[in-house]
Amino acid sequence: DQQVKQNSPSLSVQEGRISILNCDYTNSMFDYFLWYKKYPAEGPTFLISISSIKDKNEDGRFTVFLNKSAKHLSLHIVPSQPGDSAVYFCAASAQRGSTLGRLYFGRGTQLTVWP
């Protein structure tokens, strides 16, 4: 049963515009959320994270928003650049309980930024 869901397998955006990637989760114990970026045949690299005590975290062109009541988070990339084209994974973890520290990943969204 997928506890972290990324319902859009792909997203195509023009360079300079905003990219919005969405993620939903079902486990109310999750209190730490991360986004990873992955290029083909490489390992994922960490992009940005947010804890459940916040509703927004910003790092340069990347902003993550968390809506706890809706169990939803989103990653905004502004402005989008061709180099942002990659698969983006949403991940979540719980700092309490039997799954302490384990990360659960969504299936990923392939972002394509075209000139």
Partner 1 sequence: DGGITQSPKYLFRKEGQNVTLSCEQNLNHDAMYWYRQDPGQGLRLIYYSQIVNDFQKGDIAEGYSVSREKKESFPLTVTSAQKNPTAFYLCASKLSGTVAVMEKLFFGSGTQLSVL
Task: Tell me if 47 sits within 8 A of 36, measured CB to CB.
Answer: yes
When asked if residue 12 is in the footprint of partner 1 (CB under 8 A), the reply is: no
Q: Taking contact as CB under 8 A, which single stretch among the options 17-25, 28-36, 63-71, 74-82 is the one that binds partner 1?
A: 28-36
Size of interface with partner 1, in residues (CB under 8 A): 27
Q: Cβ 71 to partner 1, closest distance in Å?
A: 18
Cβ closest to partner 1, residue 79 vs residue 110: 110
Strand blocks (E) in the chain:
4-5, 10-14, 19-25, 32-38, 45-51, 56-59, 62-67, 72-77, 86-93, 104-105, 109-114
By CB under 8 A, the residues from 67 to 106 that bind partner 1 are 89, 91, 93, 95-96, 100-103, 105-106
Q: How many CB atoms lie within 10 A of CB 3?
A: 16
When asked if residue 51 is in the footprint of partner 1 (CB under 8 A), the reply is: yes
